[in-house]
Amino acid sequence: MRFVSAEQVARRAGVSRSAVSRTFTPGASVSPATREKVMHAAQELGYHVNDLARGVLNNQSRLVGIVATRPEVGFRAHLTAALSKVLIKRGNVPILINTGQTEEELVAAQKMLIGHRAEATIILSGSPPASFFELARRNGQPVVMIGRSEPDADHVRAGNSEASQQAALAFLAAGRRRFAFAGSHSATPAILERETAFVAAVEAAGFTVRVARGRDSDYDSGVVAARQLMADREDLPDAVFCANDLIAFGLMDVMRLEAGLAVPDDLAVIGFDDVPEAAWLNYRLTTFRQDPDVMARRAVELLERRLANPDAEPDVERVIPLIVYRDSFRGKM
């Protein structure tokens, strides 16, 4: 595969190679007649500037690494897409680094992160190990964390505690009294925060919370959590707060199909994220909306501030999710 070169454009336009370079360099001096000939030749040949080579010469790659574990799952998929759009609009080249789940995959991902001399790194929630943050920091890369916490980094955080407390109060106000939380053993910071805040709010009102967990934060974990809660058929919950929407989908399907419960009459369910499937007719899930576009914009704003002032104190952008009421729970605050 051969890309059209600047030398070919120069020959077609009848100008020097340096004239082509100046034409495509913002602010460089080039006569209007030369510029017109070069641009006409470039359009005929389909020429585009080699930004990668130019970045290497200027020691500025314009690459931004997006680091995630299982980026295809749930809200992370929508956040990754939103980040890509915002970064491309800014003039960056997003490079998705899937950390994988084995030691070999982690090592390969770390080499990719540093080997391509990314301008900055954005690390998503989930389970990318802290070593990714340390590696980026040691190499002088600005780092923005989304949905997790590391010292000396800029952060975008969802209002997990506020939303979880609101879910508990909404269930209590609706007269629900048998509470459960459906989470996962992945124990990401966001899920731990949601579980802790929900349990604390319910216990402060004088009630207890049964906690059920699957292995990961996905549909299958919702299935596992539901079957754990069904183990005692005499004490089925009447209100479940789920760590995310995917868990809620699995739990609702099992509770309806295997336990014979009606949602929301027998069982009220609230999720977290508001992925598009939450509005599907089979679920109509009441959930807390995290807006991936808002979070992506906040992350890039933090990145721009850090690049402009590398020595500034770490900054935090907090995004409070709003509850979206649908059919799985109709209570109002």
In angstroms, the CA 8 to CA 12 distance is: 6
pLDDT tens track for 308-321: 898 899 999 999 99
Give which of 179, 218, 173, 206 is closest to 195, Cα–Cα.
179
Residue 3 burial by CB count (10 A; 0-12/13-18/19+): exposed, middle or buried? Answer: exposed
Give which of 311, 242, 300, 301 is closest to 275, Cα–Cα.
242
Written in H, E and C, the secondary structure of 16-64 is CHHHHHHHCCCCCCCCHHHHHHHHHHHHHHCCCCCHHHHHHHCCCCCEE
Architecture of the domain whose range is 63-158+292-320:
3-Layer(aba) Sandwich (3.40)
pTM value is 0.80
Q: What confidence score (pLDDT) does residue 139 get?
A: 72
Homologous superfamily of 6-49 in CATH?
Answer: lambda repressor-like DNA-binding domains (1.10.260.40)
pLDDT tens track for 172-207: 999 999 999 999 988 788 899 999 999 999 999 999
Residue 272, token pair as written in the block: 């977290």
pLDDT tens track for 63-120: 888 888 888 888 999 999 999 999 999 888 888 888 766 667 766 766 766 666 678 8
Domain layout of the chain by residue ranges: 6-49, 63-158+292-320, 160-290
Q: Do domains 63-158+292-320 and 160-290 have the same CATH topology?
A: yes
Fold topology of 160-290: Rossmann fold (3.40.50)
pLDDT at 291 over 50: yes
Distance (Å) of CA 259 to CA 37, 163, 227, 234, 241: 74, 28, 9, 11, 18
